[in-house]
Amino acid sequence: MRSWSMARCVALASLLPAMLAAQSGPNMTVAVEPSHVAAIASRVPAGTVALALGNVGIASTDADVLFYNPGMLTSGRGMSLSAQRYNGNGTAASMAATQLVGSVGFGIGVRFADWRGPLGFGYAEAVRDGLGVLGLPGAARASSTALTAAAARALGPVRLGVSATYARETYAARHDETTHFDVGVVWPTGPGNLALTVQHEGAPLEIADGFQEFEGAAEWRATLGYGAWGFPLATFWDFGGTAQLSVDEAGKVRSAGGVELTYVPVEGVSIAARVGSRSTIGNELPITGGLGLSLDRYSLDYALESFRGGVRAHRVGLRVR
């Protein structure tokens, strides 16, 4: 009964983003100063499981958690590789690896995005409508790369992690580069983890060209989240969920979260169904979802997100633990 009560609490917390998203749709007129820009590679989803759960990875134990919360590196393990296609026109990909050495967890990773913008448009104007533009055809070459290194250590009951990211953004003949830092703190609480992160602290990119940026392109953001997994619901069935609230440099508060239902027919084999919801940014649609198949140390995952204008992005990932 105690496990069932905990599961209900996690479910309610994970449904909060859906309720908030239903109350407030995207605001396409909200703008941020053009000089405060985070790299595209830092804004696209960095993990397949996280994307299926509303792009929430703050309490994940997979290797790509280093992109969401370096404080979880003491629990993150193995490596992950994933790629995402936007209507066959744009591509995003990420790779991460983690290693625990004594009491310190280390992680390295790379994120990459390649897309095409419309000719005659500047960078800020091209991306103003949101990340769905990665799925639109165009002739202006654009790319974004982010290289990340991170470390974390347990300090008593608290885990503290930091990461440094070098980012380079290119659009047509213009480019800029910068370095930013993330800090993550994790408190094991009950059956899961409570986490706080501050991300993208550093000098902003200055590739914009006089147009205002779209909502969500602000540089830094702070996020508070919780995640818990492995609640037994019935024979062969487990349940988990995660949720978060974040505020960015522009003062915009957003929520996101998701739930996972896992079928475990035999030890070492599991099939997971995931669904998530998020406060929308630009031309995003709120609902995400996906599936996963795990065989011992290996997991193959799929996730889907959609954008207004008919753009869909499919992500496939491999995890090794």
Q: Does the pLDDT value for residue 104 go beyond 50? A: yes
Q: Does the pLDDT value for residue 120 go beyond 80? A: no
Locate tokens 């994307």: which residue?
A: 51
Of residues 177, 163, 140, the one with CA closest to residue 41: 177
Q: Does the pLDDT value for residue 7 go beyond 50? A: no
Q: Is 241 in contact with 261 (CB distance < 8 Å)?
A: no
Q: Does the pLDDT value for residue 123 go beyond 90? A: no
Q: What are phi and psi of 308, to 5 degrees?
A: -65, 150
Q: Please give the pLDDT value at position 216.
A: 63
Amino acid at 249: E
Other beta carbons less than 10 A from residue 235's beta carbon: 6
Q: Please give the pLDDT value at position 28.
A: 38
DSSP state at residue 64: G
In this prediction the pTM is 0.87
Cα 88 to Cα 31, 114, 115, 314: the distances in Å are: 29, 11, 10, 10
Radius of gyration of the chain (CA): 19
Of residues 47, 4, 36, 49, the one with CA closest to residue 203: 36
pLDDT higher for 33 or 174? 174
Output the DSSP codes for 133-187: GGGS--SEEEEEEEEEEEEEEEETTEEEEEEEEEEEEEETTEEEEEEEEEEEEEE
Q: How confident is the model at residue 88 (pLDDT cuts 50, 70, 90)?
A: confident
Q: Does the pLDDT value for residue 24 go beyond 70? A: no
Query: The domain containing residue 199 runs over which residues?
Result: 2-320
pLDDT, the chain, mean: 86
Render the burial of 114-130: b for 16+ CB within 10 Å, e for the rest: bbbbeeebbbbbbbbbb
Q: Is 82 in contact with 166 (CB distance < 8 Å)?
A: no
Q: Please give the pLDDT value at position 173.
A: 80
Q: Is 297 in contact with 63 (CB distance < 8 Å)?
A: no
Q: Which residues contact 250 (CB under 8 A, 6 or more apart)?
A: 30, 32, 215, 218
Q: Dig out the tokens for 312 from the structure.
A: 């869909």
Mean pLDDT of 195-209: 83
Q: Please give the pLDDT value at position 152.
A: 97
The distance from CA 87 to its chain's CA centroid, rounded to whole angstroms, is: 20
Q: Is 283 in contact with 126 (CB distance < 8 Å)?
A: no
Quote the CA–CA distance of 18 and 169 in Å, as a whole number.
Answer: 32
Q: Please give the pLDDT value at position 107.
A: 97
Mean pLDDT of 227-243: 94
Q: Does the pLDDT value for residue 320 go beyond 80? A: yes
pLDDT higher for 191 or 108? 108
Q: Dig out the tokens for 197 from the structure.
A: 């992160």
CATH code for position 64: 2.40.160.40
Structural domain count, the chain: 1
Q: What are phi and psi of 232, to 5 degrees?
A: -75, 120
Helix/strand/coil for 58:
coil
Q: Is 61 in contact with 228 (CB distance < 8 Å)?
A: no
